[in-house]
Structure 1
Amino acid sequence: MKIKNWYSDKKPWIITGPCSAETEDQLLDTVTQLVDNGFDTIRAGVWKPRTRPNSFEGVGEIAFPWIKKAKEKFPHIQFAIEVASAEHVELALKNDIDILWVGARTTVNPFNVQEIADAVRGVEDKPILIKNPINPDLALWMGALERFDAVGIKKLGAIHRGFSTYQESIYRNIPLWQIPIELKSNFPDLLLINDPSHIAGKRELLFEIAQKAMDLQYDGLIIESHRSPNEAWSDAAQQLTPKALKEMLDSIKIREKSFPNKDFKNELEGIRDQIDETDKELLEVLSRRLELVKKIGQYKKEKNVAIFQLDRWNKIIENRPVWAKKLHLDADFIKSIYQDIHDESIRIQTEIYNEE
C-alpha cells in the first residue's frame, strides 16, 4: 500500500463539533460559535453506535437538513460524520457530506469495513478517515486502511482514539501511543489525527493529550465541542464550549519538526549515543535474567513443580515498584515492565517443560 501525503493546508488540522447533532437549534448555534472562533471543519454524529441499546443513538437522517442549513450559512465550512454501513455512505454522499470517518466499533469488523469500502469505490474527492479498532490490534487497523486503498481512495487518514481496556485507568480509552507510532512508521505519509475526546473521557485531560499528540507530530485533532457541554445528550463530560476549545488550542505548543542548528543536532546526537550504550547494558542485564529463568525452569521441571508460583510473583510485583521509587522511577511503569518480563518467563519455562 502506497499512502501519499494529500493534506497540504494549515496544520494542525482541527476537526471539531458536537458529539451528536441533537436539534436544529443546538447544531446551528454550536456551528456558529465554532466559526466565530475560527474553526471551519465541523464534526457531528448523525448515527451514534452505542454500547447499550437504551442510550441516545443519534437522530439519524433528519439531521441532514440541519447540516445543509449550516453549510448554506457558512459556505466555507466542511462537515464530517461517522458512517457504519453502506446505507450510511449512500445517505452521506447524497447529502453532500465532505468527510467520512469509520468508527472504532466498525473498524473491528472486516466485513463491515469491506462493505463501506465498496460503497465509496470511485469517490476520490472526499477524505476517508479510519479510527483504530477498539482493541489494540495494529494489523486490524492497517487492514482497514488497505481495504480502502484497494478500492482507490486517495485521501486516506487514520484517527487514533485510544483502546478499550479492563485495566484501571484515568483515561476512558488508554492511548497506547506506541501503536499509532508504529502505524506511522509503516506509512510515513499517512495523515494521522488524534482524538483527545475519546481517549480522555473528561475535559480536564484534553489539553494533556492534545499537547502530547502535537509533540509526537500528529497532523491534527478531532475534538468534541458543544454550546452547552453539560447539557449534551451524549459524552457530556468530554466536550468543551467553542470558546474554551479555542483557548485550550491557543495554549498548545507546536514543536519544530527539525533541528534549529547544527550545534543543537550534534549535542542531541551525543546524548543519543549515551542512550544507545545504556540500552546495550539493559539488554545484557535482561539476557542474564532470562538465563536465570531458564535455570529455574529446568529445576522446577526436575522437581515436578508448577511453573507459576503465586507467592513469588506477588513478592516481585510488590517490591520492584518500591525499589523503583527509590530510584525516582514511576512505579506503574516498572510494574508494567515486570508484567511483560513475567509473561516472557512463563513462555520460556513452558518451552522447557515441553521439551522431550
Structure 2
Amino acid sequence: MEIKKITDWGIFDSYPLFIAGPCSVETPEQLDSTVGELAKLGFKIIRGGVWKPRTRPNSFEGLGSIALPWIQDLQLKYNVQFAIEVASPYHVEQALEHGIGIFWIGARSTVNPFTVQEIANSLRGLDVPVFVKNPVNPDLALWIGALERINQAGIKRLGAIHRGFSNFNDKVYRNSPTWQIPLELKTRYPDIPLINDPSHISGRRDLILPVSQMALDLNFDGFIIESHIDPDKAWSDSAQQLKPTALNDLIRQLQTRIPAVDNPLLESQLEIIRGHIDEVDRELLEVLSRRMKLVEKAGEYKRLNNVAIFQMERWKKVFETRPEWAKALQINPEFVKELFNIIHTESIKKQEEIMEGKLDDALRDD
C-alpha cells in the first residue's frame, strides 16, 4: 500500500494526535457547547456521530443529514475540522456537500467487503483523510482488505483505528484490546498511522486512561476519544464519554515514551538482555517440541486402543493446575490459561492427524 506519513497529511499540528468529540450529534446546543469547550482546550479535529449503526432497532441511530448543517457552521465558528463515520456512498456525498472532509469506516462496515468497495468507489478521485476501524471480530485479513480497497481507490492519507474486538468472555472491557492484532498490522505496514479508540475498548470512563497509556507505550500514533458536554445525559454510550475538561486532564496524565534508545551504553545493555531473551525463547521452543512429541505418543496410544481423543477429566486437570503453577512462579494466570488453550487446540489437532494415519511415518522415524 502507498500511504502518506501522518505528519504529511496537513491536518495535525501535534503528536501524538487527538480526535475528540461526542459519540452522537444530538442537538445544536449540545454540539455547540461540546465543540466550543474542546476548541478552547486546543482540539482541532472533532469527531461526531451522524449516522449510528446500532445492533438492535429502536436504539438512537443518529440524526442523519439534519445534523450536517450544524457541523458545517461550527467548523467555521470554531476553526475546527470534523471527522464522521460513513457507511455508504450517500453518506460520503452528503458529508462533502456540507464541507466535511475527514471520514472513518466503522467496525460493522469493515466486515463487509461489498460495503467497503462501494465506499471506496465513492472516494475515487478525492484526496481526503480516511480511517478504517478494525472489524468487530478479530480478523486481521478483513481489516487489511478494507484498507487495501480504500488505498486502491487512490486514498493515500489512510489510517487504521483500533477499537477492540468483540469477545463475550471478556468481563473487563467492552471490546477486548487484543493488542497483538494492531501490532501485527503495524509490523506489516509500518507507514500506516495507527490510532487507538480507548472509548470503545473500555466502555467506561475509568478504563480510558490505562488503555490510552498502553497504546502510547506500544507506540500508537494517536487517539480518537469520545467527549460530551454532559456525558450522563448523552443519547448513546454515556458511560464511556468524558467531559472536555476531564479529557484534557486525562491527556496531561499520559506519559509519552521515546520510540528508541539513542544512548550507546543503554543500547548495549538492552542488546545483552535481548540476547538472553533469544536464548530463553529457543529453550521454550525446545520444551514445546518435546511436549508435542509426547502428545503424538499419547495420540498413537489412543489410536491403537480405540480411545477418544478428548478426555474431559484430563483437560480439566490441566486447565486448573497450570494457572496455579503460574501463580507460584509469579506469572499471570490468565495469560497461562490463554496459552494452554492454544497448546490444547494444537494438541487435539496433532492427535486427530494421528487418528487419520497422517503422522504414522513421523512416529516411526522417531
**d(CA) in 2 for partners of 1:152, 1:326:** 55
8 Å CA contact 2:49, 2:62 repeated in 1: yes
- Aligned-partner residue type, residue 159 of structure 1: I
**d(CA) in 2 for partners of 1:7, 1:139:** 26
* 2:354 aligned to which of 347, 352, 355: 352
Secondary structure of the structure 1 residue equivalent to 2:18: strand
- Aligned-partner residue type, residue 18 of structure 1: P
Secondary structure of the structure 1 residue equivalent to 2:155: coil
Cα-to-partner distance string for 1:87-106 (whole Å, 9 max, x where unaligned): 11110111111200000000
Instruction: Tell me what 1:3 maps to.
Output: 3
Instruction: Tell me what 1:30 maps to.
Output: 34
- Aligned-partner residue type, residue 30 of structure 1: T
Instruction: Tell me what 1:95 maps to.
Output: 98
CA RMSD of aligned residues (A): 0.9
When normalised by structure 2's length, the TM-score is 0.95
| Cα shift at 1:154 | 1.2
| Cα shift at 1:167 | 1.2
- Aligned-partner residue type, residue 325 of structure 1: K
Instruction: Tell me what 2:84 maps to.
Output: 81
- Aligned-partner residue type, residue 36 of structure 1: K
* 1:45 aligned to which of 39, 42, 49: 49
| Cα shift at 1:69 | 1.9
**d(CA) in 1 for partners of 2:189, 2:255:** 25
Question: Does 2:292 match 1:290?
Answer: yes
* 1:17 aligned to which of 21, 25, 39: 21
Cα-to-partner distance string for 1:178-221 (whole Å, 9 max, x where unaligned): 11111011111101100000000001000001011111111110
- Aligned-partner residue type, residue 7 of structure 2: Y
8 Å CA contact 1:3, 1:187 repeated in 2: no
Alignment of 1:57-136 (within 5 A): 57-75=61-79, 77-124=80-127, 126-136=128-138
**d(CA) in 2 for partners of 1:169, 1:127:** 35
Cα-to-partner distance string for 1:89-141 (whole Å, 9 max, x where unaligned): 110111111200000000000000000000010111x1010000001110100
8 Å CA contact 2:2, 2:156 repeated in 1: no
Cα-to-partner distance string for 1:213-263 (whole Å, 9 max, x where unaligned): 111111110000000111100000000000000000011011111214100
**d(CA) in 2 for partners of 1:99, 1:269:** 42
Deviating above 3 A after TM superposition, structure 1's stretches of 4 or more consecutive aligned residues are none
**d(CA) in 2 for partners of 1:91, 1:28:** 21
* 2:225 aligned to which of 223, 241, 259: 223
Secondary structure of the structure 2 residue equivalent to 1:7: helix
Instruction: Tell me what 2:363 maps to.
Output: none
8 Å CA contact 1:83, 1:103 repeated in 2: yes
- Aligned-partner residue type, residue 63 of structure 1: A
Alignment of 1:168-179 (within 5 A): 168-179=170-181
**d(CA) in 1 for partners of 2:354, 2:262:** 53
| Cα shift at 1:6 | 3.9
- Aligned-partner residue type, residue 56 of structure 1: F
* Aligned residue-pair number: 354
8 Å CA contact 1:7, 1:191 repeated in 2: no
- Aligned-partner residue type, residue 339 of structure 2: I
8 Å CA contact 2:170, 2:176 repeated in 1: no
**d(CA) in 1 for partners of 2:176, 2:145:** 21
**d(CA) in 2 for partners of 1:15, 1:261:** 33
Instruction: Tell me what 2:165 maps to.
Output: 163
**d(CA) in 2 for partners of 1:169, 1:281:** 34
| Cα shift at 1:54 | 1.3
| Cα shift at 1:355 | 1.2
**d(CA) in 2 for partners of 1:96, 1:227:** 24
**d(CA) in 1 for partners of 2:72, 2:269:** 55
| Cα shift at 1:288 | 0.4
Secondary structure of the structure 2 residue equivalent to 1:106: helix
| Cα shift at 1:59 | 0.7
Identity percentage over the alignment? 56
Alignment of 1:326-341 (within 5 A): 326-341=328-343
Secondary structure of the structure 1 residue equivalent to 2:323: helix
| Cα shift at 1:7 | 2.8
Secondary structure of the structure 2 residue equivalent to 1:169: coil
Cα-to-partner distance string for 1:246-287 (whole Å, 9 max, x where unaligned): 000011011111214100101111111110001011111110
- Aligned-partner residue type, residue 12 of structure 1: P
Instruction: Tell me what 1:273 maps to.
Output: 275
| Cα shift at 1:168 | 3.0
| Cα shift at 1:68 | 1.6
- Aligned-partner residue type, residue 241 of structure 1: K
Instruction: Tell me what 1:311 maps to.
Output: 313
* 1:180 aligned to which of 179, 182, 185: 182
The answer for unaligned runs of 5 or more in structure 1 is none
